[in-house]
Structure 1
Amino acid sequence: MKDQKKLYKEAMQVLKDTSRTFYIPITFLKNDLKLSVAAAYLAMRAIDEIEDHENLSNDVKFDLLSATSEFLKGEFDAAAYDALLAPYASELPEVTLRLADWVLFCPEGSRPIVQASTSEMAFGMAKWSKANWQVHTREDLDEYTYYVAGLVGTMLSEIWEWGAGIKTDRDLAIGYGRGLQAVNILRNQHEDMDERGVSFVPDGWTRDDLFTYAEENLAKGDLYMKDINKRTVLLFCRLPLALAHKTLKAMQEGREKMSRAEVEQTVEEVQAD
């Protein structure tokens, strides 16, 4: 059994190293909610690093993600996971190699929620890796953004209900996640095409259509907030949403992203509200 204090310190450091967007709001949470969401972020980041890896073939990604999805359906087999990744261990980051630790770090009560959601996400990522992430219809875009982001929303809703008795609307939770992902797609649209030959834009859609898609889903995210009556949870949910809204506005004004000063100001505004 790993020392939990040591594991906590290591987990929070890896979290800080891998996410500037989510580290701060996670620190707003308390006790088991904080541990649950931190573990969930690390677990989902672990598989995301496989999906996004520049040097792994799509077939390898499919195999790794499919197997990981199966491992997460029951008691996680750390030895089998290590064996699965062994041929690629030198290329994969710490957050991916230590997935077993993030499962162990997660409180027992919320662990089934985190494992089930991460398992479903890994399945979806495997499917879309096999399809080379070629989106052709709105239905394709909805499916992809559900797997990689809407699932984050539904998982968080289950964690809020488990840990704080907060009930939220599932469709709004999916919209919350989708909205954040749509902003990321807009930010990386040209890079994805130029560097990976991947387009998440449905056939016949303009960039304005993608902006509309993001706005529609961020509006669902705004409604999602109305069901949350615990301040620490509300602070957690508000910050990524506020940053997404402002990033979208910056791009509509022709800028690539928000300035560091704008980000810091947004954090202060959310905390002061």
Structure 2
Amino acid sequence: MNEKALQKDAMRVLKETSRTFYIPITFLQKELKMAVATAYLAMRAIDEIEDHEEVDNNVKHDILLELSELLKKPFNEEAYLALLTPIKEKMPEVTLRLGDWIKLCPEGARSHVAASTSEMAMGMGKWAKANWQVHTREDLDDYTYYVAGLVGVMLSDLWEWHAGIKTDRDLAIGYGRGLQAVNILRNEQEDLAERGVSFVPDGWTRKELFEYADENLAKADEYMKSISKRSILLFCRLPLALAHKTLKAMKDGREKMSREEVEQTVEEIQAD
């Protein structure tokens, strides 16, 4: 494929893997849109390795740690595909094509994306080996940093690279953590029943989890105040609005927002 066709194909894979993030990414301007899209795809590629139910946790750990090291150098696709050999047949398109996402990432953004994805792979590998057993607040902070807070940091690096926007690192981490905390609350029973995994610290109830989500979403709200560019603000506002409304729905005793509420929220953000 030539670059234009590859970019179009990347947006197809993005839409197939995440409708939640596909919509806000389309709000961004061309170069930044491709940087964020390829960053999402790169991180989703490694997330599929971490999440796969048929891959042994020790195998996940070893592959993710080796991948973390690979991402610290100019990307070697041959070495990457060789690394995937034991699990290749189980992996989806988004994972098999990590080389395409790195190659497509605009040159000025590539080092930020590769460094963040490398750090995420290392953290995911560590937590896979530990079977994601969270026991303390510090454990929860560590896990949510690697799988979500890091995304906030990387996005902030991209805002500065593209638009000169400077944000607070702690608030950027809070933005990612807040979204992840809502996911943990929403999937708590499913994670336990299907995977035997609990992200809830010992002694915590839903009450403490709600407080954790509220605390981090408050940081996310504060983070928004430092973003002045409209397209970037729209990008950040949609996932945050959905997180706030999902949290309220769960506090009201519902499992999640209705499809109508989601569609209405998307329309409200786009119309603003």
So what's the TM-score if we normalise by structure 2? 0.99
1:5-154 equivalence runs, <5 A:
5-154=4-153
Give 1:265's aligned residue: 264
Q: Deviations over 1:52-103 (max 9, x none)?
A: 1010000110011111111110101100101111222111000001001000
SS at match of 2:107: coil
**After the TM superposition, which of the residue ranges 229-238 and 62-71 deviates more from structure 2?**
62-71
Give 2:240's aligned residue: 241
Give 1:179's aligned residue: 178
- Aligned counterparts of 1:81 and 1:150: Cα–Cα separation in 2: 25
- Aligned counterparts of 1:263 and 1:200: Cα–Cα separation in 2: 26
- Aligned counterparts of 1:69 and 1:14: Cα–Cα separation in 2: 23
The percentage of counterpart residues that share the same residue type is 74
**After the TM superposition, which of the residue ranges 147-156 and 248-257 deviates more from structure 2?**
248-257
Gaps of 5+ in 2: none
- Aligned counterparts of 2:74 and 2:138: Cα–Cα separation in 1: 34
- Aligned counterparts of 1:271 and 1:10: Cα–Cα separation in 2: 24
SS at match of 2:72: coil
Partner amino acid, structure 2, of 1:82: L
- Aligned counterparts of 2:87 and 2:20: Cα–Cα separation in 1: 28
Q: Deviations over 1:129-178 (max 9, x none)?
A: 01110000000000000000000000000000000111111000000000
* Distance apart, 1:256 and its partner CA: 1.1
- Aligned counterparts of 1:82 and 1:143: Cα–Cα separation in 2: 29
Q: Deviations over 1:38-60 (max 9, x none)?
A: 01000000000011101000011
- Aligned counterparts of 2:252 and 2:50: Cα–Cα separation in 1: 31
- Aligned counterparts of 1:170 and 1:209: Cα–Cα separation in 2: 24
Q: Deviations over 1:183-241 (max 9, x none)?
A: 00001101111111111000000111001100110010000000000000000000000
* Distance apart, 1:126 and its partner CA: 0.3
**After the TM superposition, which of the residue ranges 79-88 and 118-127 deviates more from structure 2?**
79-88
Q: Deviations over 1:229-258 (max 9, x none)?
A: 000000000000000000101111111111
SS at match of 2:55: coil
- Aligned counterparts of 2:68 and 2:31: Cα–Cα separation in 1: 24
- Aligned counterparts of 1:153 and 1:88: Cα–Cα separation in 2: 29
Partner amino acid, structure 1, of 2:51: D
- Aligned counterparts of 2:19 and 2:269: Cα–Cα separation in 1: 16
- Aligned counterparts of 2:253 and 2:55: Cα–Cα separation in 1: 34
Q: Deviations over 1:104-123 (max 9, x none)?
A: 01000000000000000000
* Distance apart, 1:32 and its partner CA: 1.2
Pairing 1:166–2:165 present: yes
So what's the TM-score if we normalise by structure 1? 0.99
SS at match of 1:90: helix
Q: For this pair of structures, how many residues does the alignment match?
A: 272
SS at match of 1:54: coil
Gaps of 5+ in 1: none
SS at match of 1:12: helix
**After the TM superposition, which of the residue ranges 129-138 and 80-89 deviates more from structure 2?**
80-89
SS at match of 1:110: helix
* Distance apart, 1:10 and its partner CA: 0.9
Give 2:156's aligned residue: 157
Moved >6 Å (runs of 4+): none
